[in-house]
């Protein structure tokens, strides 16, 4: 199509649920966006795998490209929107090509940024163009813009949150309906909340990628997605859900990053948070991100974390920001600081966690078990806040469940104590260890 005067020309690669939603929103909100941005936003070109597929939206006179890399190089666009996905292949090549050509880029691709974000940021900054990625973390929640622009002058000490809607949906339903993880996962897949292969979500990889991006913004460090300690939710049982409720907690999969004296700690794992905390009230596919700072205090952002409309809203917001920028405007750095000023990532050891640990043990019901358990804990310097014996109808008469809640201690001490208990032959099944997180 011919270029339109006083317009920002956009090329969109990837016409799945999100891509189609972006085109729909740009069409429906065209007049309002023009008023807000001072110029029209025109979808000038698109790329996808199947040209014949009906996506429920009109592509108008947009030029079609089979290859997203060729679209990225097309002189008829000012902004390249990457919605292809994946951390290599067409996604990486097309984004790099667009930046090298001096085009602004908008992406929703957290995997790409987690692996190649620093290299891509270097290109963007050298070419004086924007690399916007609001949709890559927490869907429609404007956490990237908030941390990158609105919190200037604040020093962040901790950022944490619920960053994966699939896991939050599963844990919410397990608690509300008393069903197993496996049953809930099948429902999530049927409803489209979980992929056919859900591993990336339920084992924590998706959360880890998003957390690594937030860590860079929070602490001015280079992205280090491969340095995130990671546990998923596939081993969470109804016994854990019930025990948490009895103790006044709710289980959430949290991503947590914090600055310590020895370095930066990044971790993703099931966590018990007090039911009275705000983050414990975040249910279903909703996401939430909390940022703790020295000036502002704690900021909590919550909202839709996935879905066509939520992600499209973030993508359109990024495009609108580009449309509002003036020619010759010096754009801010991609990760809040120029790439050359980002510090090398320095990993901290997993340290003490306020609130301690929840340890669930299924043990043989015999004399001396309690004494052996408490002895092993004491040997490793672990102080117990409570010790509770539970029994349920489905358990064998020769078995008991023992719930230990510790005071503040270390990961190493807990693991060493549990290994000793296991070596003593006291356990019927593998021990369950869940951190208890301060989540004011």
- pLDDT class of 367 with cuts at 50, 70, 90: confident
Lowest mean pLDDT among 94-98, 141-145, 223-227, 435-439: 435-439
Integer Cα distance of 220 and 341 in angstroms: 8
Same structural domain, 234 and 297: yes
Same structural domain, 122 and 222: no
State the average pLDDT over residues 53-76: 93
Same structural domain, 371 and 240: no
Which tokens belong to 356? 């301690």
Q: Please determine, for residue 394, whether its predicted confidence score (pLDDT) is greater than 60.
A: no
Same structural domain, 173 and 300: yes
Same structural domain, 232 and 264: yes
Instruction: Tell me, yes or no, whether 348 lies in a domain.
Output: no
Same structural domain, 242 and 153: yes
Same structural domain, 320 and 287: no
Which tokens belong to 276? 């009275």
State the average pLDDT over residues 199-222: 96
What CATH number corresponds to the domain at position 33? 3.40.50.720
Instruction: Tell me, yes or no, whether 342 lies in a domain.
Output: no
- pLDDT class of 439 with cuts at 50, 70, 90: low
pLDDT for the residue 33:
95
Instruction: Give pLDDT tens digits for 8-51.
Output: 999 999 999 899 999 999 999 999 999 999 999 999 999 999 98
What CATH number corresponds to the domain at position 364? 3.30.70.260
What CATH number corresponds to the domain at position 262? 3.30.360.10
Which tokens belong to 246? 């009895």
Of 304, 321, 346, the residue at which a domain comes to its end is: 304
Instruction: Tell me, yes or no, whether 206 lies in a domain.
Output: yes
Q: Comparing 195 with 97, which gets the higher pLDDT?
A: 97
- pLDDT class of 315 with cuts at 50, 70, 90: very high
Instruction: Give pLDDT tens digits for 118-141.
Output: 999 999 999 999 999 999 999 889
State the average pLDDT over residues 393-415: 81
Same structural domain, 72 and 183: no
Q: Comparing 260 with 391, which gets the higher pLDDT?
A: 260
pLDDT for the residue 1:
62
Integer Cα distance of 360 and 389 in angstroms: 10
Q: Which of 73, 110, 210, 252 is catalytic?
A: 210
Largest CA distance in the chain: 85
Instruction: Tell me, yes or no, whether 277 lies in a domain.
Output: yes
Instruction: Tell me, yes or no, whether 349 lies in a domain.
Output: no
Q: Tell me, yes or no, if 93 is annotated catalytic.
A: no
Same structural domain, 56 and 81: yes
pTM over 0.95, yes/no: no
pLDDT for the residue 391:
61
**DSSP notation for 249-284:** EEEEEEEEEEEETTEEEEEEEEEEEETTSSGGG--T
Range of the domain at 240: 144-304
Instruction: Tell me, yes or no, whether 391 lies in a domain.
Output: yes
Q: Comparing 439 with 112, which gets the higher pLDDT?
A: 112
* Average pLDDT score over the chain: 91
Instruction: Tell me, yes or no, whether 87 lies in a domain.
Output: yes
pLDDT for the residue 358:
94
Same structural domain, 323 and 427: no
Same structural domain, 14 and 128: yes
Give per-residue burial for 131-157: e unless 16+ CB within 10 Å, then b.
bbbbbbbbbbbbbbbbbbeebeebebe
Same structural domain, 274 and 162: yes
- How many domains does the chain contain in total? 3
Instruction: Tell me, yes or no, whether 411 lies in a domain.
Output: yes
């Amino acid at each position: 199509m011919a270029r339109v005067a006083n317009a920002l020309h956009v090329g969109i690669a990837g016409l799945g649920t999100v891509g189609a939603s972006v085109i729909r929103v740009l069409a429906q909100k065209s007049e309002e966006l023009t008023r807000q941005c001072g110029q029209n936003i025109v979808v000038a070109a698109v790329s996808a795998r199947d040209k014949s597929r009906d996506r429920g939206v009109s592509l108008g006179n947009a030029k079609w490209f089979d290859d997203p890399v060729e679209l990225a190089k097309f002189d008829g666009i000012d902004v390249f929107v990457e919605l292809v996905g994946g951390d290599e292949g067409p996604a990486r090549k097309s984004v790099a090509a667009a930046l090298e050509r001096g085009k602004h880029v908008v992406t929703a691709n957290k995997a790409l940024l987690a692996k190649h974000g620093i290299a891509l940021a270097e290109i963007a900054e050298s070419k004086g163009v924007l690399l916007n990625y609001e949709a890559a973390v927490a869907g429609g929640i404007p956490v990237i813009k908030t941390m990158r622009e609105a919190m200037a002058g604040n020093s962040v000490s901790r950022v944490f949150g619920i960053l994966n809607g699939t896991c939050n949906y599963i844990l919410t339903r397990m608690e509300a309906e008393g069903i197993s993880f496996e049953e809930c996962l099948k429902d999530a897949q049927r409803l489209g909340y979980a992929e056919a292969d859900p591993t990336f979500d339920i084992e924590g990889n998706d959360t880890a990628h998003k957390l690594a991006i937030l860590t860079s913004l929070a602490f001015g460090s280079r992205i280090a997605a491969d340095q995130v300690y990671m546990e998923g939710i596939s081993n969470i049982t109804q016994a854990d859900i019930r025990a948490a409720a009895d103790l006044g907690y709710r289980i959430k999969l949290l991503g947590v990053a914090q600055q310590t004296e020895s370095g930066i700690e990044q971790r993703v794992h099931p966590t018990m948070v007090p039911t009275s905390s705000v983050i414990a009230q975040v249910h279903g596919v909703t996401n939430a991100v909390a940022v703790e700072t020295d000036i502002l205090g704690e900021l909590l952002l919550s909202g839709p974390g996935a879905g066509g409309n939520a992600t499209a809203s973030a993508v359109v917001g990024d495009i609108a920001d580009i449309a509002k920028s003036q020619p010759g405007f010096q754009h801010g750095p991609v990760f809040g600081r120029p790439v050359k000023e980002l510090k090398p990532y320095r990993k901290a050891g997993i340290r003490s966690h306020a609130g301690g640990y929840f340890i669930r043990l299924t043990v043989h019901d015999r004399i001396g078990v309690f004494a052996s358990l408490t002895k092993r804990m004491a040997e490793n310097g672990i102080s117990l806040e409570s010790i509770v014996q539970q029994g349920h109808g489905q358990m064998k008469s020769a078995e008991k469940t023992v719930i230990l809640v510790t005071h503040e201690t270390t990961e190493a001490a807990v693991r060493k104590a549990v290994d000793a208990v296991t070596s003593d032959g006291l356990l019927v099944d593998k021990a369950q260890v869940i951190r208890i997180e301060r989540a004011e």
